[in-house]
Structure 1
Amino acid sequence: MAEDRPVSTVTSAVNSEYATPPPSMPGLDSAPLEPPRVSFFGPGPSIGENSPRDSRVESATGQETDKEGFTPGHSTTLLPVGKPEDSEAPFSFSQPVSRDNRPFYRRPAGLAIALGALVAVILAIALPASLIHKSKHGQSNSSNNPGNGNGTGSGNGNPTSPKNSSSAITGGDGSTIVSGNTTFVYSNPFGGYWYYDPKDPFNNAARPNSWTPPLNTSWDWTADRVYGVNLGGLFVLEPFISPALYQKYPTAIDEWTLSQLMAADTGPGGGLQSQLEAHYDTFITEQDFAEIAGAGLNWVRLPIPYWAIEVWPGEPFLPKVCWKYIVRLFGWARKYGIRIYLDLHTVPGSQNAFNHSGKEGQVNWMNGIMGFANAQRSLDYMRIITEFISQPEYLDLIPIFGIVNEALLTTIGQAELTSFYLQAHNMIRGITGYGQGNGPYISIHDGFNLGLWAGFLPGSDRIILDTHPYLAFDGQTNTAPVVTDDGLGEPGGTWPSQACAWGSSMNQSQVGFGVTISGEFSSSYVECGLFLSGTTVPGTDTGDCLPFVQWQNWNATFKEGILDFTLASMDALQNWWYWTWKVGNSSTSNTVEAPLWSYQLGLQNGWIPTDPRKSVGKCKALNAPQEPFPGTYSSWQTGGAGAGTIAPSVSASFPWPPATLSGVAGDIYAALPTYTPTSTISTLPPAQLTPTASEGDGWFNPKDTAGAMITVSGCTYPNAWDSAGAVAPTAACPAGGQPLLTATVPASSVIATTTARVVA
């Protein structure tokens, strides 16, 4: 049964048009806020430290390690940030911006854009009308989509049943949308239009706004700009994003323990599947996608768990169920012209020991006794996802696949990570083929050190580097107020200039690595919010953090300061996805208690821009040092000439298995547990839409017939998630396990002779 819920520490808030706070709260207009004094604020982060989880972490060798310099938050800072007055970091962005310090809407260019937007709105009304009678406008797609663009966002519990309640197949600003049992008006002042034809459900005609190409037009990294949000907390349950789920079970610290407690709760309202399906069905709806497009955004980053495919014995996660909701979401994104960056947020064993990896505490992926075996298994899941999203029905909708989120570089090692990334690259391109238009871009995370990856795998095919900068987790007390002058006569204090310092590192990476993006950032410069740093970390929603949690009390000056910081962050990062679109209410206060992480809440209440293009030029107006990115990439970096021509000498430097493995002594490396690829590979199931729509079968490359990893019969394996302190093997398993005696250059294909596949 569920335990008693903890009582929220947030008191009732004043809500008189978000006026000046009551006397008990600091005067945000006139005086700095008292700095947060949470216990885990300490010295700045060091790349040589361990992972930012709570205050201590066990390594896979079983030794407890201090984590001084890291904070127990969602991430750690990774871009160098200096004081604005002494920063020498040059800044630029790929598109020219105005030097005008005036607000966007007061500049001549702003007026021109406004007039252009008006014209676009007129076109948006006229253009869809011309599409009504065309079932084929641009490329049509068809495959796995358990639900369509008119899906059941109101939570009817049946995501595979399309509900086409309107005869219109397209519309712009002011059109009416019927979604399940819900009707709402599509509000999009930016010339965007939705498109859904039940006779042609994979049509890519929709467009989110006038400055973003429709889905049936290729994305150009030298000309187009990402304005995106994450859909965090939907399929990978983070405590601060979905707090009510965790408040019901106070001892839960991650999805592993939450799943165990839900499954053990047999009382009314309990159970694992019923509770999680209710969450999947209602947390993000079709109306959210309409609002995302209406906010001027054009991408979503979608974190998904590997258990969307399967789980192995002993893993408590709910297997397979979320997949039908994931594919329903694909349909909504297509309907509103929103591109998807699909992010595999969890892998077996945990890649970073954070709660959002599935299980908090240890890194057992590419680290320790089970590190290689877990990596073998994760490659299967990357392969299965690649096969699905490379189908023509999804190719243009999902242009980026993030293969593993925030792998902890300091624990795993860069050489070891590079060996894995090269193996994954060759496997994926063995499925998709090489060059532009053949499968998605492959995104890798920088491991919290953006500057280490220059010159990465020259001749590879379309690899993106993703970085997640957070001032909130920089290990500093961050006492500077946000209500003072930012240098332009506006609130913001020093924070906008600090954010602008990121621009130099971004541009240097664009030159040295290639396409570089920011898959996560937020509006917070302090580590404050309910469960932000985990369910067991006190202080992030109490005491000095309360002013940053009680958003109902924020006055106009404070909101403008946060807005200023957010605009500067957007401008510096250039191609970005905000973390996150929505934060759920606390079950005890019935309100959001991590407000600086909710794009939707900020959009509704004034600390998020109603038009993200207002960010362009912010850093230049602040006189941030400039070092312009030339605006072009090497041809091979974007799938042109030279893509897929990694030199043999480079491949030989990063063999698979890797030459060494962190947490494993050299004398036992050859006897590490491994799996064998003799099982039947799973296939993600396609959608059931209409009898006339070709939906694909979930598998792009019929020549990919290799088996899936499975334990070797007769072999005993340590706990894949808890191998710290496990007895190291002294010899390879005698029942058929293959020792890792000789590392080899990664294969360029996954083609094999096994033919069986099974629908997941």
Structure 2
Amino acid sequence: MAQRALHGVNLTGWLTLEAWVTPTLFADSGALDESALIGSIGRDEYRRRLEAHRSGFVRQADFNQIAARGFNAVRLPVPWYVFGTDGPRPGPFVGCLAQVDDAFDWADEIGLKIVLDLAITPGAEGAEADLVRNHTDFAHYRNDMLDVVRGLCKRYGSRVAFAGIEVADTPRIQTRRGFSVSEGVALHQLRNYYRDAYDIVREEAGADPLFVIPDGGRPGAWNRFMAHDRYENVLIDCHLFHYNDRVDRVGPSGIRELVERSKASLRAVEKSGLPAMVGKWSGSLPFADTITTPEGRIALERIYISEQLATFKPCAAWFFQTWKTEGRLAGWDARVSLSSFERRMLA
């Protein structure tokens, strides 16, 4: 794969709502996700808040700033209801095709690449899964997902900015322990979906765009999958967050422990025979240290980010989580976490 490595940021919380990114959208509702928000405030107020948010949260100026910081790509999560009433039944949710069109116009103008991410988590339970009708069985909505993939590739496959598409976000894969099976999507079902999605992407967009499959938190489960000659330009995405990890040590030694875990995941991905993409990572540390000063904490996060950047250097792509948050969250907001890094470290 001769393409230049993609180094960029996620645009999380723009087209799909995330309470941790924009808490004011959820204020006084008691809701923590988009589905619950609709139930709490009603469809009319939901639509009003959503339209105001989407028109103002990410603008052309953000794309210009992203490029100016040295990034060459963005990873853009789009909901399954992106096409609104022209796609799978959207229920109370509002499509966002106009905003995706804007993103491609802005990216084309300044030479940024876009990796579209179909923001569905197959096999997920609970509130997230409520965003997908018939979510209790992946077989019931996989064809809807394929229809959305086809529509996105047909619409954007010829755009200069179109780098590729990730055909799910973070699947939850079934695991077996003795005679019990966890909730989630069976691995063979997910693999068959990936194969079908690949054929659609190639049919609609050709052989050049990247086809990205998420590892579902199982980096070692993809040995030689899609690695033979029939498949071209395939990446496997692993999300390397460690903010919930248990770490025995703090400070630089704790950071080394976290980075070693990332390296272990990437070594497992290597066995798949596919290039790795780190679709989401952050500078958020999982350990609290009451002794370290705020300045010292910032220094530790900088060391952590630097070590991660070095670890991800061989990867075909990486995307920091995320470009912006309402509260400029340290460790998560690229405008804060990566502001002191030189362009050459990010490009």
Asked if these proteins are the same fold (TM beyond 0.5), I'd say: yes
Does the 8 Å CA contact 1:500/1:571 hold for their aligned counterparts?
A: no
Q: State yes or no: 1:583 paired with 2:309.
A: no
- How far apart, in 1, do the equivalents of 2:133 and 2:51 lie? 29
C-alpha displacement at 1:315, in angstroms?
2.4
C-alpha displacement at 1:498, in angstroms?
2.8
Determine the structure 2 residue equivalent to 1:451. Answer: 220
Q: State yes or no: 1:352 paired with 2:116.
A: no
Q: State yes or no: 1:514 paired with 2:285.
A: no
C-alpha displacement at 1:612, in angstroms?
5.5
Q: 1:263 aligns with which of 31, 42, 60?
A: 42
- In 2 relative to 1, CA 255–283 (structure 1 residues): closer, same or farther, beyond 3 Å? same
Greater strand proportion: 2
- How far apart, in 1, do the equivalents of 2:133 and 2:256 lie? 35
Q: 1:401 aligns with which of 165, 175, 178?
A: 165
- How far apart, in 2, do the equivalents of 1:460 and 1:301 lie? 22
Determine the structure 2 residue equivalent to 1:293. Answer: 67
Q: 1:558 aligns with which of 275, 297, 308?
A: 297
Determine the structure 2 residue equivalent to 1:232. Answer: 12
Determine the structure 2 residue equivalent to 1:185. Answer: none
- In 2 relative to 1, CA 400–345 (structure 1 residues): closer, same or farther, beyond 3 Å? same
Q: 1:381 aligns with which of 123, 148, 163?
A: 148
Q: State yes or no: 1:317 paired with 2:93.
A: yes
C-alpha displacement at 1:243, in angstroms?
1.0
C-alpha displacement at 1:422, in angstroms?
1.2
Does the 8 Å CA contact 1:229/1:577 hold for their aligned counterparts?
A: yes
State how many pairs are aligned: 331
- In 2 relative to 1, CA 479–503 (structure 1 residues): closer, same or farther, beyond 3 Å? closer
C-alpha displacement at 1:272, in angstroms?
2.4
Does the 8 Å CA contact 2:240/2:280 hold for their aligned counterparts?
A: yes
Q: State yes or no: 1:421 paired with 2:201.
A: no
- How far apart, in 2, do the equivalents of 1:342 and 1:330 lie? 10
TM-score by length of 1: 0.41
SS of the residue 2:211 aligns to: strand
Following superposition of structure 1 onto structure 2, how do residues 649-664 of structure 1 map, counting pairs within 5 Å? none
Letter in structure 2 aligned against 1:461: E
Does the 8 Å CA contact 2:279/2:319 hold for their aligned counterparts?
A: yes
- How far apart, in 1, do the equivalents of 2:268 and 2:220 lie? 8
SS of the residue 1:595 aligns to: coil
Structure 1 ranges of 4+ moved more than 4 A:
311-314, 362-365, 544-548
Q: State yes or no: 1:330 paired with 2:84.
A: no
Instruction: In structure 1, list runs of 5 or more residues that go unmatched.
Output: 1-218, 266-270, 483-491, 528-543, 586-591, 616-760
Does the 8 Å CA contact 1:256/1:358 hold for their aligned counterparts?
A: no
C-alpha displacement at 1:364, in angstroms?
5.4
C-alpha displacement at 1:358, in angstroms?
6.0
Does the 8 Å CA contact 1:254/1:359 hold for their aligned counterparts?
A: no
C-alpha displacement at 1:399, in angstroms?
1.4
- How far apart, in 1, do the equivalents of 2:291 and 2:78 lie? 33
SS of the residue 1:258 aligns to: helix
Letter in structure 2 aligned against 1:247: A
Determine the structure 1 residue equivalent to 2:237. Answer: 466
C-alpha displacement at 1:462, in angstroms?
2.5
SS of the residue 1:512 aligns to: coil
Summarize deviations over 1:139-185 as a string: whole Å, max 9, x none.
xxxxxxxxxxxxxxxxxxxxxxxxxxxxxxxxxxxxxxxxxxxxxxx
Determine the structure 2 residue equivalent to 1:613. Answer: 345
SS of the residue 2:220 aligns to: helix
SS of the residue 2:155 aligns to: helix
C-alpha displacement at 1:496, in angstroms?
3.8
Letter in structure 1 aligned against 2:275: V
C-alpha displacement at 1:511, in angstroms?
5.5
- In 2 relative to 1, CA 547–242 (structure 1 residues): closer, same or farther, beyond 3 Å? farther
C-alpha displacement at 1:512, in angstroms?
3.3
Does the 8 Å CA contact 2:81/2:90 hold for their aligned counterparts?
A: no
Determine the structure 1 residue equivalent to 2:76. Answer: 302
- How far apart, in 2, do the equivalents of 1:554 and 1:353 lie? 37
Following superposition of structure 1 onto structure 2, how do residues 456-605 of structure 1 map, counting pairs within 5 Å? 456-457=225-226, 458=228, 459-474=230-245, 476=246, 478=247, 480-482=249-251, 492-507=252-267, 509-510=269-270, 512-526=272-286, 554-555=294-295, 557-574=296-313, 575-585=317-327, 592=328, 594-604=329-339
- How far apart, in 1, do the equivalents of 2:225 and 2:109 lie? 36
Does the 8 Å CA contact 2:7/2:346 hold for their aligned counterparts?
A: no
Greater helix proportion: 2
Does the 8 Å CA contact 1:238/1:255 hold for their aligned counterparts?
A: yes
- How far apart, in 2, do the equivalents of 1:382 and 1:520 lie? 21
Higher Cα radius of gyration: 1
C-alpha displacement at 1:262, in angstroms?
3.6
- In 2 relative to 1, CA 364–467 (structure 1 residues): closer, same or farther, beyond 3 Å? farther
Does the 8 Å CA contact 2:43/2:92 hold for their aligned counterparts?
A: no
Does the 8 Å CA contact 1:227/1:298 hold for their aligned counterparts?
A: yes
C-alpha displacement at 1:333, in angstroms?
1.6
- In 2 relative to 1, CA 602–502 (structure 1 residues): closer, same or farther, beyond 3 Å? closer
- How far apart, in 2, do the equivalents of 1:290 and 1:547 lie? 39
C-alpha displacement at 1:339, in angstroms?
0.7
Determine the structure 2 residue equivalent to 1:146. Answer: none
Q: 2:211 aligns with which of 442, 445, 465?
A: 442
Does the 8 Å CA contact 2:84/2:90 hold for their aligned counterparts?
A: no
TM-score by length of 2: 0.85
Letter in structure 1 aligned against 2:169: N
Summarize deviations over 1:504-545 as a string: whole Å, max 9, x none.
542553453212110001111228xxxxxxxxxxxxxxxx79
Does the 8 Å CA contact 2:280/2:320 hold for their aligned counterparts?
A: yes
- In 2 relative to 1, CA 545–493 (structure 1 residues): closer, same or farther, beyond 3 Å? closer
Letter in structure 1 aligned against 2:130: K
C-alpha displacement at 1:352, in angstroms?
2.2
- How far apart, in 1, do the equivalents of 2:89 and 2:133 lie? 19
Greater RCO, CA 8 A, separation 6+: 1
C-alpha displacement at 1:463, in angstroms?
1.9
SS of the residue 1:388 aligns to: helix
Letter in structure 1 aligned against 2:306: L
